[in-house]
């Protein structure tokens, strides 16, 4: 039997996998990629009798690949927090999908492991911009405020490292980052021993400073929309900037767009943190996906920008 570990390349995906492998070590083929690269199960070259663990990946984006693997006789353990419509029933498919707004995949793994490696879940939950849920986990684990702040910095830096429209935008590939963290049972030890994390933190803050200098393209009581330039720093910081905006104005919905050379916008959307509803369904209207609190659009045509802003305002004006 061969094992495959397939996960999103952000803090939630990497730390969810790490918790599982600390509890159950396996010699597995790792498949991951930038945060936007969700359709990863199509890369799995499994044979009958093999086992796939999928983490923090939209089921809907991987549905065809999942069905093909099941037909091939591959067992799949699917743990995720994105909206999934009409999950298939199959004896080889085991799903743990919870779309609650205060849940991420690392929280689901933490539940499965009964809090055995909870500090990793705390860092992941901060990275996924769920500070309230992360703080509650930290309190359950008895983590003191200074260590909680370190875990927050770790989660936010690793999450930032996964953003970009291609591997070339990233400061480190997610698979390489996982290799660096893999030897550490405790995230505080990893945070103290890995100099790359300080580099990521400095780059994140520099990129956020550049983003904060931009003026909004559209603003109202209920929404704020930013367009960033078509540069690597902007593509890297798009998600972190959207998270920062959401934290600063929890009653508003936010969208951050970066252009591509092919004539499209890449979009990160955050629902108001105070209510965290509808980001996934809104983005699906434009070919995107995600979850209720945070979602995205990979290819919004330039010419659809005005229609996007109008629809965004209409979707969230009631939250103002």
pLDDT of residue 320 exceeding 60 = no
Nearest CA among 78, 63, 70, 113 for reference residue 6? 78
pLDDT of residue 318 exceeding 80 = no
Q: Which CATH number fits domain 3-200: 3.90.1640, 1.10.3470, 3.10.450, 3.40.50?
A: 3.90.1640
Q: What's the CATH number for 214-319?
A: 3.10.310.30
> What is the C-alpha to C-alpha distance for residues 98 and 241, in angstroms, rounded to an integer?
26
Which residues, at least 6 apart from 211, have a Cβ–Cβ distance to it below 8 Å?
226, 228, 234, 237, 241, 256
Mean pLDDT computed over every residue of the chain: 95
Task: Transcribe 55-95 into DSSP letters.
Answer: ES--HHHHHHHHHHHHHTT-EEEEEE-S---SPPP-TTEEE
**Residue range 55-80: average pLDDT?**
97
> What is the C-alpha to C-alpha distance for residues 183 and 25, in angstroms, rounded to an integer?
11
> What is the C-alpha to C-alpha distance for residues 207 and 263, in angstroms, rounded to an integer?
23
Structure tokens at 206: 């520099």
pLDDT of residue 28 exceeding 90 = yes
Contact 250, 243 (CB under 8 A): no
Residue 198: the pLDDT is 96
User: Residue 230 in 3-state DSSP?
Assistant: coil
Task: Transcribe 245-278 into DSSP letters.
Answer: HHHH-TTSEEEEEEE-TTSEEEEEEE--TTT--S
User: Residue 96 in 3-state DSSP?
Assistant: strand
Q: CATH 3.90.1640 spans which residues of the chain?
A: 3-200
Residue 78: the pLDDT is 98
Residue 183: C-alpha distances to residues 55, 135, 140, 212 (Å): 20, 25, 25, 36
Residue 313: the pLDDT is 95
- 251-307 per-position pLDDT tens digit: 999 999 999 989 999 999 999 998 888 999 999 999 998 888 999 999 999 999 999
> Vertex 93, ends 177 and 7: CA angle to 5°?
10
Whole-model pTM: value is: 0.93
Q: CATH 3.10.310.30 spans which residues of the chain?
A: 214-319
pLDDT of residue 218 exceeding 80 = yes
- 164-177 per-position pLDDT tens digit: 988 899 999 999 99
């Amino acid at each position: 039997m061969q094992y495959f570990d397939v996960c999103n390349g952000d803090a939630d995906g990497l730390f969810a996998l790490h918790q599982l492998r600390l509890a159950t070590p396996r010699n597995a083929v790792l498949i991951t990629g930038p945060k936007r690269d969700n359709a990863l199960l199509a890369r799995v070259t499994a044979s009958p009798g093999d086992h796939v663990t999928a983490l923090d990946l939209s089921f809907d984006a991987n549905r065809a690949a999942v069905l093909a693997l099941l037909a091939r006789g591959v067992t799949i353990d699917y743990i995720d927090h994105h909206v999934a419509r009409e999950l298939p029933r199959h004896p080889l498919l085991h799903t743990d999908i919870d779309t609650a707004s205060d849940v991420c995949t690392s929280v689901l793994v933490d539940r499965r492991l009964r809090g055995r490696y909870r500090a990793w879940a705390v860092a992941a939950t901060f990275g996924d911009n769920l500070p309230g849920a992360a703080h509650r986990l930290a309190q359950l684990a008895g983590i003191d405020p200074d260590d909680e702040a370190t875990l927050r910095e770790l989660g936010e830096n690793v999450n930032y490292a996964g953003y970009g429209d291609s591997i070339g935008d990233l400061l480190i590939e997610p698979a390489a980052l996982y290799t660096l963290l893999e030897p550490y049972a405790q995230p505080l030890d990893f945070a103290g021993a890995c100099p790359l994390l300080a580099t990521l933190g400095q780059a994140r803050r520099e990129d956020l400073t550049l983003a904060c200098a931009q003026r909004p393209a559209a603003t109202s009581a209920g929404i704020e929309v930013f367009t960033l330039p078509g540069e690597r720093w902007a593509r890297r910081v798009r998600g972190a900037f959207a998270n920062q905006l959401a934290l600063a104005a929890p009653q508003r919905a936010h969208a951050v767009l970066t252009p591509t050379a092919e004539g499209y916008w890449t979009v990160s959307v955050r629902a108001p943190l105070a209510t965290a509803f509808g980001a996934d369904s809104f983005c699906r209207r434009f070919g995107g996906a995600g979850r209720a609190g945070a979602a995205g659009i990979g290819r919004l045509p330039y010419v659809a920008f005005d229609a996007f802003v109008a629809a965004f305002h209409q979707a969230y004006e009631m939250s103002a």
